[in-house]
Amino acid sequence: MTHNLINDRPNIALFEPDIPQNTAAIIRTCACLGAKLEIIEPCGFLFSDKRFKRVVMDYMKENQIIFYESYNQFFENKKNQRIILMTTKATVSYTKFKFNINDTILFGRESAGVPEEVHKMIKNKLIIPMKKNMRSLNVATSVAIILAESLRQTKLI
């Protein structure tokens, strides 16, 4: 079954991303899997950065990307939608969670995650279990894992 409408897919949100290559790889993943991408600014790089352009290639035009000037604007826009925070501070595994078609899945800044006030604003927090003594996966890898699982659960792939 093929779904071409971007409205019946999960949304991926990035909180103040700071590594251009990661954001570019996430744009490609979202374009290929049909997810809408939302970016909470400020970003730690310019979209004219050659490292960004090298990875994003022509996938930028394939995406529906929404930019928010701040996380307050993001949360105001999402007040009636479910937001799921992916964080190494969570205790619930993504494999134990029931995703919905229109979830917004939020990933923190590569260098610092999300601030404590953002943690407090979100009920659903998930983790990708890893081997003991490992800190974290690359955010682009994490997006691919979670987006694929969300699409699988909701039978969109």
| Mean per-residue pLDDT of the chain | 89
* pTM of the full structure: 0.90
Give the pLDDT confidence score for residue 62 in this predicted structure: 66
Answer yes or no: is 102 within a domain: yes
- For residue 1, tell me if it sits in a domain: no
Number of domains in the chain: 1
Tell me whether residue 108 is in a domain: yes
What CATH number is attached to the domain comprising 106? 3.40.1280.10
Helices then strands (H, E): number in the chain? 5, 7
Give the relative orientation of helices 139-153 and 20-33 as an angle to the nearest 10 degrees.
20
- Which residue, 38, 22, 31, 29, is CA-closest to 136? 22
Task: Find the domain containing 68 and state its range.
Answer: 6-153
pLDDT band at 8 (very low <50, low <70, confident <90, very high): confident
Name the more confident of 5 and 60.
60
Residue 60 pLDDT greater than 90, yes or no: no
Looking at the predicted structure, is the pLDDT value of residue 61 above 80?
no
Note whether 94 and 130 are within 8 A (CB): no
User: For 24-35, how does the pLDDT look when each residue is reduced to its tens digit (9 = 90+)?
Assistant: 899 999 999 999
